[in-house]
């Protein structure tokens, strides 16, 4: 028994001596950043980075991403240095990384608190520094150059886990401000319903026609379909598209029909105003707009999808009537009578004419209908009508031409003065920059207005007095496209309206 006790005492002494000799030493300087996608993680016992214990590495040469579980709460977690108890501890990970110019999605997760910095810990772009079960936070940012990344984490009991993931986001490389030409739209696709993240370009239409009808692949309403662009794929759920096309129109009536599921809108002036505007969630529906156009216009068609079916369509038709108007004129035959005459040819399968009258050159009312006489080839047909109800003063007329299928076209606007008191002029009729308004006698409270052919006022000016000439710059309205317009000058007693053509 004595021999055994002696042996036990000796064993205990040797064990204590061994523990004293091999006491751990914390390795690492707590400040050095990892490189080559490999983080240096500094471990501390205590949630407030109290007692430094040693370092570990996370990530690999191919990727800095990692997902670390630290073991059971009663266990230990080994470092290069001293182990820590896997509860009531903290980690500080450091990595210097160089990024190429691109957008990135950064996701950090943790149980409990975590926070992430791109500037060495000066600021935290992700900050979820509180007790909670495992959650994740994502941050999207454009990076270019070298950054000192810091990821901090603490554990306050229960499960213990921290994770980091960074992926480069595919972004479109084209310029989304460029317009298509020759009937081919440039379409720019965005993830997000409000043109959020630009993903790439596609085209619609063809050399023969700008019309198109696009389904984006989500026919089963799964909201998971993928639509490929020139650069990146987009998920066809909560996305948007902006189509651009510069189009030149000859002087005639055009009908625009746009459809969509969900929102859609159409502009003829680069997005300044919307002639069709159905910007709301809806099943597939269509809307139409008609206008007399002449010149070059920057068309913008916008669309968004908020889930379910996704479809957008565009159709353009023009009114080309089977009649040619060769003459259209008006003359005064009394103080309240006007003689309207016109001549037409090639009126094959054509229906009738409507004489329209206006006192302001903008708002026209139907005055008289004349049935068409059929003409073959160059067979000219002459027409006339006497308006016995014309008001004294300046009167404006236009001729509405109606085909047998209901298609409509309009003549130019002409005006006559049914008395000799007119003292104001507007010229020239073809203008690039400035219109001239002129009066032979002083006028007070004068107002100048410019209207499009649909009767919409697009420019105005007012002067307390007008004596002689004054120039009005129409090019100062930057969104004003080339085409036909009506310029009107009033002084409270008389009205003069003149149709003008603006060129760019």
Q: Bridge partners of 198? A: 190
Residue 449 has a pLDDT of 87
Q: How many domains does the chain have?
A: 4
Collapse the DSSP code of 8 into the 3-class scheme (helix H, G, I; strand E, B; otherwise coil) and give the result: helix
Average pLDDT over every residue of 166-189: 94
Integer Cα distance of 349 and 281 in angstroms? 43
- 303-312 residue pLDDT tens: 999 988 899 9
**Predicted confidence (pLDDT) at residue 366 exceeds the cutoff of 70:** yes
What percent of the chain is modeled with pLDDT above 90?
A: 47
**Predicted confidence (pLDDT) at residue 225 exceeds the cutoff of 80:** yes
162 and 62 inside one domain: yes
50 and 148 inside one domain: yes
126 and 214 inside one domain: no
Please report where in the chains the tokens 């209901």 appear, as a residue.
406
Task: State which of 189-198, 352-361, 399-408 shows the largest mean pLDDT.
Answer: 189-198
Residue 223 has a pLDDT of 75
Integer Cα distance of 138 and 147 in angstroms? 18
**Predicted confidence (pLDDT) at residue 188 exceeds the cutoff of 90:** yes
132 and 225 inside one domain: no
Range of the domain at 494: 424-502
- The answer to whether position 368 is within a domain reads yes
57 and 123 inside one domain: yes
**Predicted confidence (pLDDT) at residue 495 exceeds the cutoff of 90:** no
Q: Which residue has the higher pLDDT, 227 or 11?
A: 227
- 423-454 residue pLDDT tens: 677 888 778 788 888 887 788 888 888 887 76
The domain spanning residue 331 has which CATH number?
2.60.40.10
- The answer to whether position 369 is within a domain reads yes
- 234-273 residue pLDDT tens: 988 899 999 999 999 987 778 899 999 999 999 999 999 9
Q: Show which of 318, 338, 370 is a domain's final residue.
A: 318
**Predicted confidence (pLDDT) at residue 38 exceeds the cutoff of 70:** yes
53 and 161 inside one domain: yes
Task: State which of 89-98, 222-231, 374-383, 389-398 shows the largest mean pLDDT.
Answer: 89-98
The domain spanning residue 121 has which CATH number?
2.60.120.1560
CA atoms within 13 A on the CB side of 25: 6
**Is the peptide bond between 322 and the residue preceding it cis, with omega within 30 degrees of 0?**
no
- The answer to whether position 82 is within a domain reads yes
- The answer to whether position 21 is within a domain reads no
- The answer to whether position 176 is within a domain reads no
268 and 154 inside one domain: no
Residue 220 has a pLDDT of 63
Residue 334 has a pLDDT of 60
Q: Which residue has the higher pLDDT, 476 or 367?
A: 367
Residue 161 has a pLDDT of 96
Q: What is the DSSP string of 54-68?
A: EEEEESBTTB--EEE
Q: How confident is the model at residue 375 (pLDDT cuts 50, 70, 90)?
A: low
Q: Which residue has the higher pLDDT, 26 or 290?
A: 26
Average pLDDT over every residue of 60-64: 93
Please report where in the chains the tokens 């005492």 appear, as a residue.
9
Q: Show which of 417, 444, 477 is a domain's final residue.
A: 417
Residue 14 has a pLDDT of 36
311 and 349 inside one domain: no
- 316-334 residue pLDDT tens: 987 666 677 888 988 876 6
Residue 504 has a pLDDT of 61
**Predicted confidence (pLDDT) at residue 136 exceeds the cutoff of 90:** yes
User: Which has the closest alpha carbon to 287: 323, 305, 313, 319?
Assistant: 313
Residue 213 has a pLDDT of 95
Q: Show which of 318, 350, 379 is a domain's final residue.
A: 318
47 and 165 inside one domain: yes
- The answer to whether position 69 is within a domain reads yes
Integer Cα distance of 398 and 375 in angstroms? 22
- The answer to whether position 175 is within a domain reads no
134 and 190 inside one domain: no
Please report where in the chains the tokens 């008289």 appear, as a residue.
368
- The answer to whether position 390 is within a domain reads yes
pTM recorded for the entire structure: 0.50
User: Which has the closest alpha carbon to 95: 160, 43, 152?
Assistant: 152
439 and 386 inside one domain: no
Tokens of 21: 């000799």
Integer Cα distance of 166 and 39 in angstroms? 13
164 and 63 inside one domain: yes
Tokens of 57: 């590495």
The domain spanning residue 486 has which CATH number?
2.60.40.3080
């Amino acid at each position: 028994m004595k021999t055994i006790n002696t042996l036990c005492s000796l064993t205990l002494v040797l064990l204590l001596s061994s523990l004293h000799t091999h006491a751990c030493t914390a390795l690492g300087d707590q400040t050095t950043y990892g490189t080559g996608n490999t983080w240096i993680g500094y471990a501390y016992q205590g949630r407030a980075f109290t007692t430094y214990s040693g370092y570990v590495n996370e990530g690999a040469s191919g990727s800095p991403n990692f997902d670390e579980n630290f073991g059971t709460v009663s266990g230990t977690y080994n470092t290069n240095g001293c182990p820590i108890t896997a509860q009531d501890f903290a980690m500080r990970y450091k990595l210097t990384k160089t990024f190429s110019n691109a957008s990135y999605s950064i996701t950090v997760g943790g149980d409990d608190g975590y926070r992430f910095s791109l500037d060495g810990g000066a600021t935290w772009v992700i900050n979820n520094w509180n007790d909670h079960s495992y959650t994740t936070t994502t941050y999207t940012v454009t990076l270019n150059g070298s950054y000192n990344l810091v990821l901090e984490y603490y554990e306050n009991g229960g499960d213990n886990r921290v994770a980091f993931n960074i992926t480069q986001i595919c972004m479109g490389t084209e310029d989304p401000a460029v317009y298509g030409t020759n009937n081919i739209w440039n379409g720019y696709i965005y993830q997000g319903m409000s043109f959020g993240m630009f993903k790439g370009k596609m085209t619609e239409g063809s050399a023969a026609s700008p019309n198109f009808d696009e389904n984006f692949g989500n026919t089963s309403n799964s909201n998971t379909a993928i639509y490929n662009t020139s650069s990146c794929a987009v998920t066809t759920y909560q996305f948007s598209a902006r189509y651009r096309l510069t189009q030149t129109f000859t002087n005639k009536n055009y009908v625009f029909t746009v459809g969509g599921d969900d929102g859609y809108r159409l502009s003829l002036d680069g997005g300044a105003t919307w002639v069709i505007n159905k910007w709301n969630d809806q099943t597939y529906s269509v809307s139409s707009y008609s206008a007399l156009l002449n010149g070059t216009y920057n068309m913008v068609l916008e669309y968004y999808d908020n889930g379910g079916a996704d479809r957008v369509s565009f159709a353009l038709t023009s009114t080309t009537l089977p009649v040619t108007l060769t003459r259209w004129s008006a003359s005064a035959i009394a103080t309240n009578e006007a003689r309207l005459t016109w001549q037409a040819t090639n009126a094959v399968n054509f229906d009738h004419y409507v004489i329209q009258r206006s006192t302001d050159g903008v708002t026209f009312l139907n005055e008289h209908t004349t049935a068409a006489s059929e003409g073959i080839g160059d067979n000219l047909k002459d027409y006339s009508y006497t308006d016995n109800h014309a008001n004294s003063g300046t009167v404006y007329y236009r001729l509405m031409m109606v085909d047998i299928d209901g298609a409509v076209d309009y003549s130019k606007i002409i005006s006559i003065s049914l008395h000799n008191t007119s003292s104001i002029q507007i010229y020239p009729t073809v203008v690039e920059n400035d219109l001239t308004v002129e009066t032979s006698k002083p006028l007070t409270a004068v107002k100048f207005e410019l209207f499009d052919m649909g009767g919409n006022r697009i420019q105005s000016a007012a002067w307390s007095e007008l004596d002689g000439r004054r120039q009005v710059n129409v090019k100062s309205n930057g969104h004003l496209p080339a085409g036909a317009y009506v310029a009107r000058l009033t002084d409270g007693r008389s009205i003069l309206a003149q149709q003008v053509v603006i060129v760019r």
